[in-house]
Amino acid sequence: MGTLMTVSVRAHDRTASESAAEAAIASVERYDRLLTTWSASGPMAAVNSSRPGRAVRPESELMVLLGEAESWAERTGRAFDPGVGALVDAWNLRGTGRIPAPRELTAALHRVGPAAIDIDPQAGTVTRHVDGAWLDTGGFGKGAALRTAAGTLRARCVRRALLDLGGQVLAITAPGEAPWTVAVAHPARRDTQVATLHLANASAATSGNGERGVVVHGVRVGHILDPRTGRPAPWWGSVTVVSADPLEADVLSTALYVMGPDEGLARARDLPDVGVLFLVAHGDALEACRNEAMGRWLVEASPDEPVPLRACSSSTPSSPLERRYR
Ligand code: ADP
Ligand code: MG
């Protein structure tokens, strides 16, 4: 996944802790092999290099994840869409970055989404309809990997565990254990803490377009794309999402970043058990906005740089994120 992971585990003794930590790492490595789109071989390479028009049948564990990603694409109005691969290429996000000509951008947009690459969970197939269309697992892979690692750790009855996979955090606590304390950083100055979360059996994912990304002719090209316009989402700050399900936190942080604070907050307001915190930069000032559910995890403004953390309303009326229960 091109990133680092830190694992802290407490089980009943040192041997049990070490072996649980190793097992969690092995789970994440297995998902890395399952989901990688950086290798010329493997199950995702088979999907992404399949002959246009020919349906492929990924192994069931992968197919379930792809079906879940497609379902999130539908529920987020395609602000999150795993079928963004052609846009990753158009902007050369895996290289040094480039700015595509308007005609190229239009062509790339035709290679994005279900008309270009179709995930069919009922049939258990993925079909590429056009050359150049491919599925990028980058928007949900870390969440999926953390979810499987959580299952591994819980099966080993660990008392406490904290996993940090490239900035997405998963906190596990047994009954009676105190929650973990996790910092939320300033979106522009990562060494400044602006908020603190208390997490117990929950995962926190943060998306922003500032930290990674490349600069082309003085223009910052962020790594989060808006599949609806074909352009990188503009930089405005960051959004942190807390959920019991790490995959949901991962997907929604990307989707809500794409939507931006106004549309995003309108859609996140009614999520009863998903916490959302928008940190919006206005020049040097930072405005913090959260939904009601986030009050459960957000403990205090950090002494580093106190930002008033208010539950705020949004001016844009919007349909809430559709909830579906599995
Ligand atoms: P981070 O890795 O910084 O947490 P995200 O979790 O938000 O970033 O995912 C960004 C990655 O997801 C990109 O590097 C790209 O591979 C992919 N991606 C970019 N835009 C989208 C999008 N709108 N929907 C789904 N995946 C995306
Ligand atoms: Mg993410």
Predicted confidence pLDDT, tens digits, the chain (326 residues): 989 999 999 999 999 999 999 999 999 999 999 999 999 999 999 999 999 999 999 999 999 999 999 999 999 999 999 999 999 999 999 998 899 999 999 999 999 999 999 999 999 999 999 999 999 999 999 999 999 999 999 999 899 999 999 999 999 999 999 999 999 999 988 888 989 999 999 999 999 986 556 677 777 778 999 999 999 999 999 999 999 999 999 999 999 999 999 999 999 887 889 999 999 988 878 889 999 999 999 986 555 555 555 545 555 444 444 433 22
| pTM, full prediction | 0.93
Pocket test for ligand 1, best of 92, 212, 254, 256 (most atoms within 8 A of CB): 254
Pocket test for ligand 1, best of 135, 211, 224, 235 (most atoms within 8 A of CB): 224
Q: Which atom of ligand 1 is nearest to the CA of 142?
A: 6
- Cβ-count burial of 320 within 10 angstroms (0-12 exposed, 13-18 middle, 19+ buried)? exposed
What is the C-alpha to C-alpha distance for residues 88 and 230, in angstroms, rounded to an integer?
9
Q: Which ligand is nearest to the CA of 213?
A: 1
Residue 213's pLDDT is: 60
Specify the 3-state DSSP secondary structure of 73.
helix
Q: Which ligand is nearest to the CA of 79?
A: 1
Specify the 3-state DSSP secondary structure of 150.
helix
- Residue located nearest, by CA, to atom 15 of ligand 1: 138
Cβ-contact 145, 31 below 8 angstroms: yes
What is the C-alpha to C-alpha distance for residues 111 and 106, in angstroms, rounded to an integer?
9
Residue 80 CB–ligand 1 contact under 6 Å: yes
